[in-house]
Structure 1
Amino acid sequence: MTFQEEQLLNYFSQFISDHKKNFIDKVLAQRTRYVTVVLEDIYQSQNASAVVRTCECMGLQDIHIIENLAKYQLNVRVLKGADKWINLARYRNNGVNNTDTCYKALREQGYRIFVADPEEDGLPIDEIDVNEGKIALLFGNELRGASQYARENCDRKVRIPMYGFTESLNISVSVAICLNTLMGKSRKSSADIELTVEEANQLKLQWFKKIVRRSDLLEREFLRTIK
């Protein structure tokens, strides 16, 4: 953090109760960017919102949203405020393959890319080796699944083992099952899944600003006094 950001963090801290600060520290200690979720062309707002809520509850900090064919929309009644605490990276430029753009960004950040697909040639989700590196898990469109480009250019397809007649699950249920499996393994592994001190402090400042009423005005006034 810059010196100015450190000053702001200390400044906003005085407006937040010790109980809330302790709770924020507890959440930050369990936050991770080791696992992330990618949504490609999800069009039903209730599904999109349920996924965001699940990711936040499971401790993920980032979600990547690809919008080639469908605009990403949220349902506030389903979200329950989860989007307030999580970062959404959106890829929605016209005339380009946004899946390719997202893949490049993920690989620059060191992620292995897995695509959820019900076909039998996929690796069962519980067989992913969480110690081999960061994991980005892509879920495709509710009707068509992941795009051909996403499937052909990922590192591996993965699947949730099925034992009934129905071949697929609702996307929000699939995300919950996959994350419960991956996060459970990751938290028990030797992998370094925690945020860095810098990342945690940046998020803490971001969250403090969201908690404190009229934080934008307070910030302007404070910065004026220290110049």
Structure 2
Amino acid sequence: MYTPRTPRIVAARRLQRRKDRDQSGRFLAEGPQAVREALAAGVVLELFGTGSALDRYPELVAQAPEVSPVTDDALNALAETVHPQGLVAVCEQVDVPIGKALVKQPRLVAVVAEIRDPGNAGTVLRTADAAGADAVIFAGDAVDPYNGKCVRASAGSLFHVDVVRSPLTIIDLLQDSGLQVLATSGAGEDDVDSLLDGGLLDRPTAWLFGSEAHGLPEAMLAAADRRVRVPIYGAAESLNLAAAAAVCLYASARAQR
């Protein structure tokens, strides 16, 4: 049974750092739900589990290409949550080149531009998946989609949509692929409801979302086809990023259906 000092545990633990994830093309998926989705996607390389967890999830053990029993201390070293659930998988990264994603002619795309908060990014991933989006693009100096908190917040959706990493200069490419590009902005000339009522959201669309602190870069706002705000009918100053993304993506999902 592997301990925290076993070389394979030491090597896997390094994947908690972005530099090591980038160099190896691997990441950690923690907990039975994430492991289940990763196994379904065929990207699990090795499954680490405590004895009790391996007994509890025999269906996951049966699917894993390699299973390594570990001590509780070793599992705690790999896990990033306060109360880990006994399973951690080493997985291959799943992102695809932007050209490969766009050649599929997606109808709904979410672009998170320079978003640094992994929880927000993972929640947008989950929301985009739920709304039927085909791809989520992490643009510019955005959080690593394989950050542990982002993977957990995506609740498995990381494995359901095309995950793309790209520079900020992608607006022309999106437009050339037949997507209207809508940039979210609190000061936008258009609002989501008027676009929905006007029948303008039934087209293939890429929504651009910026960080809560700074919004979208000026160049992206200028290059987009429209700048769109989420209408605020009460006294709240604004919505957080994940809530605004849900409103926009579901408006498009409704229009496209």
TM-score where L is the length of structure 2: 0.53
| Equivalenced residues, count | 147
Query: Is contact 2:201-2:251 (8 Å) kept?
Result: no
Query: Is contact 1:43-1:142 (8 Å) kept?
Result: no
**Greater strand content:** 2
The one-character-per-residue Cα deviations of 1:53-76 (angstroms, maximum 9, x if unpaired) are 1111111121111123x4334423
Which residues of structure 1 form unaligned runs of 5+?
A: 1-11, 13-31, 92-97, 188-227
- For 1:145 and 1:64, the matched residues in 2 are separated by 16
User: CA offset at residue 179 of structure 1?
Assistant: 1.4
- For 1:35 and 1:137, the matched residues in 2 are separated by 8
1:118 matched to 2:179: no
Query: Is contact 2:117-2:143 (8 Å) kept?
Result: no
How big is the alpha-carbon RMSD for the aligned residues of Structure 1 and Structure 2? 1.9
The one-character-per-residue Cα deviations of 1:28-65 (angstroms, maximum 9, x if unpaired) are xxxx9212111100000000000001111111121111
1:80 matched to 2:149: no
- For 2:222 and 2:154, the matched residues in 1 are separated by 32
Query: Is contact 2:109-2:135 (8 Å) kept?
Result: yes
Matched to 2:121, the amino acid is: A
Q: Which residue of 1 aligns with 2:122?
A: 49
- For 1:110 and 1:140, the matched residues in 2 are separated by 22
**Greater helix content:** 1
Which residues of structure 2 form unaligned runs of 5+?
A: 1-41, 43-104
SS of the counterpart of 1:143? coil
Runs of 4 or more off by more than 6 Å in structure 1? none
- For 1:34 and 1:71, the matched residues in 2 are separated by 24
Q: Which residue of 2 aligns with 1:106?
A: 174
- For 1:114 and 1:44, the matched residues in 2 are separated by 22
- For 1:51 and 1:110, the matched residues in 2 are separated by 23
Q: Which residue of 1 aligns with 2:194?
A: 127
- For 2:157 and 2:178, the matched residues in 1 are separated by 26
Report 1 or 2 for greater relative contact order, CA contacts < 8 Å, sequence distance ≥ 6.
1
TM-score where L is the length of structure 1: 0.60
Where in structure 2 are the equivalents of 1:107-186 lying within 5 Å?
107-119=175-187, 121-128=188-195, 129-131=200-202, 133-186=203-256
